[in-house]
Structure 1
Amino acid sequence: MTDFELRQPYADLPTASVPWDEELGPQPDAGAVVWELGAGEWYDDGFETIGECFDWFFEHVDTAKVRAIVIGEWGESYAEDSGPIVSRLAEEAARLPELRHLFLGDISSDQAEISWIQQSDVTPLLEAYPGLEVLEVRGGSGLRLRPVRHESLRMLRIESGGLPGEVVRAVGDSDLPALEHLELWLGVSHYGGDATVDDCAAILSGERLPRLRYLGLQDSEIADELAAAVAGAPVVARLETLSLAMGTLGDEGAEALLSGQPLTHLGMLDLQHHFLSKATAARVRAALPGVEVNLSDALQERYGSAYVAVSE
């Protein structure tokens, strides 16, 4: 398992693969498991297309009870985008009235590198499922999002080796009054990660995110610039966890955090995978005695140039 594969169990539920293997016993109650759908050479179920997988799912599962779905590989996901999956889920929304958790792209690096995964416009998922509470997406290539208002979404995670700036802006321009956890892997420009600090401005203002408690602007090659912006960002005052992990954060960014607004109210400051000197890392810890500061995976002493944890 790589550090960006799906964490198990998902949604605090065991996983049931589609189709259900009858040798495992009776098919579980539809609402008591996470239903995992996928098609392609990595799956032993014989489904060649994700459409066939969906057909079995809607025919054999009481989808009115389903609360959580994980979508894995959809055939050649490095060549075919997720558009048909998004469309199918949006069209079948009436048959999934209890859906609360959705992960689109549970694809390991053995199947396709994260930057190869071809996504699409995921806005229809939020529009079709007003009760959705958790949306997680892996892959930034072709990913699009339009500003929306969603009353129920509590967690939005986008894992990417390169996240388009327009997606970051759309998140900031969305009204998400229930959102508590926002995690964006910004990635690198070589793989489409062209988001700038200005693209993050609406998120950092927090105006449309009144309940936000976890903010992760992670896996970024502009981590020092983000740290300088975060140091004076209004949203920080209400956070419990701030994460600039997995990126290229160095002494310059850490100095900005130390000289900015107080961070002593945080429960966690996650700077894992960083390029701070030992002296600066010690200063950060000393400045935040009541805060859990994650400074693991210190790389300054081992590598001369900074790099993000996940790109390709």
Structure 2
Amino acid sequence: MGYPTAHLEQFDGLPVFTFPFEGDDAADELPPPEAVAWRFDSYAGEEVFARQWRRFLAAVPLEKVRALVIGPWWDAYDEVGIAPVVELLCAERDGLAGLRALFLADVLSEESEISWIKLGDLTPLLKAFPRLETLGARGGEALVLEPVRHDFLRSLRFESGGLPAAPVRALGACEFPALERLELWLGTDWYGGDASVADVAPLLSPGGRLPALRHLGLQNSDIQDEIAAAVAGAPVVPQLDSLALSMGALSDEGGAALLDGQPLTHLGELDLHHHFLSEPMAARVLDALEPHGVRVDLHRARPRLRSGARYVAVGE
């Protein structure tokens, strides 16, 4: 996959329902609060998030809400980031005791390029909602995380054209005993993706901090070969059911590192789509893994630029 071309239609197993703008006739026909993932959208300045949120609080029993999706939250070019949204959500932590899933910045490229989406400190959300099970966010600018322990989080996903090194290091210091899926789009240094293999290393040797992890995605990186080499000997790999090193600048060097490293034949799936492997190397990967039942995704082999440069699937 690349940059999404449509807003979320399903989230955490629920259909997404956009909370109506003020004056919309649909406001009189709201679904049961637990039956949908409630989405908020302030694009084009029709109604800023804070006002939508106040009407939502008055119309929907919060204790029954399971999932929230935050779309564009700004009324003009976003200079502040998502901090005001985080503050409003955290202020309702008691009422939202049933919240299990949250996605931040369900934003398309015509609304904001991914590199322009300004986040902020998301640590308060993890502290305010200790029973949250699914957290996703799009964007990377100004992203802040602190090392925390969260006992219920099962899925964590950051989609970014450039994920800063500091939050990646913080994730490596977190304790997530229930986490089953971790997906990071690391991005390119052109857009702030300055995380190195050393920053990622604690996630590959979690030392008991990720005992339930079954899927790891380290994707969309311009250092994908280095990541592949690190993964090839990583202690976390034997516990995984699936591995994604897709969307990045993976070349024959990274492919060879994977084949020369520890066995990957226990995996159910290896996702390498959007890659720069030669046809012979791609064939070697398939020959080594498919006979063992591993589903290998090698779609979207990419041509190098005239300069010989490789590129990530999602940058700007």
Partner residue of 2:265?
Answer: 264
Residue 80 of structure 1, CA deviation: 2.7
Alignment partners' CA distance in 2, 1:96 and 1:19: 20
Alignment partners' CA distance in 2, 1:185 and 1:287: 26
RMSD over equivalenced CA pairs, Å: 1.7
Q: Secondary structure at the match of 1:182?
A: strand
Counterparts of 1:1-312 in structure 2, within 5 Å, are 3-4=3-4, 6-19=7-20, 21-23=24-26, 26-41=29-44, 46-47=46-47, 49-75=48-74, 76=76, 78-207=78-207, 208-288=209-289, 289=291, 290-300=293-303, 304-312=308-316
Residue 18 of structure 1, CA deviation: 1.7
Question: Are 2:2 and 2:314, in contact at CA under 8 Å, matched by a contact in 1?
Answer: no
Q: TM-score, with normalisation over the residues of structure 2?
A: 0.93
| CA displacement 1:141-198 (0-9 Å, x = unmatched) | 0001001000000000000010011111111100000000000000011111000000
Q: Secondary structure at the match of 2:196?
A: coil
Question: Are 2:20 and 2:27, in contact at CA under 8 Å, matched by a contact in 1?
Answer: no
Q: Secondary structure at the match of 2:88?
A: helix
Q: Secondary structure at the match of 1:161?
A: coil
Letter in 1 for 2:261: G
Identity, % of aligned positions: 51
Letter in 2 for 1:40: Y
Q: Which moved more, 1:222-231 or 1:297-306?
A: 297-306
Alignment partners' CA distance in 2, 1:287 and 1:7: 36
Alignment partners' CA distance in 2, 1:60 and 1:77: 29
Structure 1 pair 200/6, CA: closer, same or farther in 2 (3 Å)?
farther
Letter in 1 for 2:203: I
Residue 110 of structure 1, CA deviation: 0.7
Q: Which moved more, 1:302-311 or 1:281-290?
A: 302-311
Alignment partners' CA distance in 1, 2:35 and 2:127: 25
Q: Secondary structure at the match of 1:234?
A: coil
Q: Secondary structure at the match of 1:74?
A: coil
Q: Secondary structure at the match of 2:80?
A: coil
Query: Which stretches in structure 2 are left out of the alignment for 5+ residues?
Result: none
Alignment partners' CA distance in 1, 2:43 and 2:301: 38
Alignment partners' CA distance in 2, 1:301 and 1:130: 45
Q: Which moved more, 1:185-194 or 1:8-17?
A: 8-17
Letter in 2 for 1:71: I
Question: Are 2:8 and 2:16, in contact at CA under 8 Å, matched by a contact in 1?
Answer: no
| CA displacement 1:37-91 (0-9 Å, x = unmatched) | 121317xxx31x2111111111111111000000000123542300111111111
Question: Are 1:177 and 1:211, in contact at CA under 8 Å, matched by a contact in 2?
Answer: yes
Alignment partners' CA distance in 2, 1:26 and 1:53: 16
Alignment partners' CA distance in 2, 1:291 and 1:77: 45
Structure 1 pair 256/147, CA: closer, same or farther in 2 (3 Å)?
same
Q: Secondary structure at the match of 2:71?
A: strand
Residue 17 of structure 1, CA deviation: 1.6
Letter in 1 for 2:12: A
Alignment partners' CA distance in 1, 2:231 and 2:61: 46
Q: Secondary structure at the match of 2:274?
A: coil
| CA displacement 1:228-252 (0-9 Å, x = unmatched) | 0000000000101111100000000
Count of aligned pairs: 308
Question: Are 2:186 and 2:221, in contact at CA under 8 Å, matched by a contact in 1?
Answer: yes
Q: Secondary structure at the match of 1:107?
A: coil
Q: Secondary structure at the match of 1:233?
A: coil
Query: Which stretches in structure 1 are left out of the alignment for 5+ residues?
Result: none
Alignment partners' CA distance in 2, 1:181 and 1:266: 14
Letter in 2 for 1:180: E
Letter in 2 for 1:246: M
Alignment partners' CA distance in 1, 2:15 and 2:252: 42
Q: Secondary structure at the match of 1:168?
A: helix
Residue 26 of structure 1, CA deviation: 2.6
Alignment partners' CA distance in 2, 1:77 and 1:91: 25
Q: Which moved more, 1:295-304 or 1:204-213?
A: 295-304
Question: Are 2:242 and 2:270, in contact at CA under 8 Å, matched by a contact in 1?
Answer: yes
Alignment partners' CA distance in 2, 1:77 and 1:61: 29
Alignment partners' CA distance in 2, 1:156 and 1:81: 20
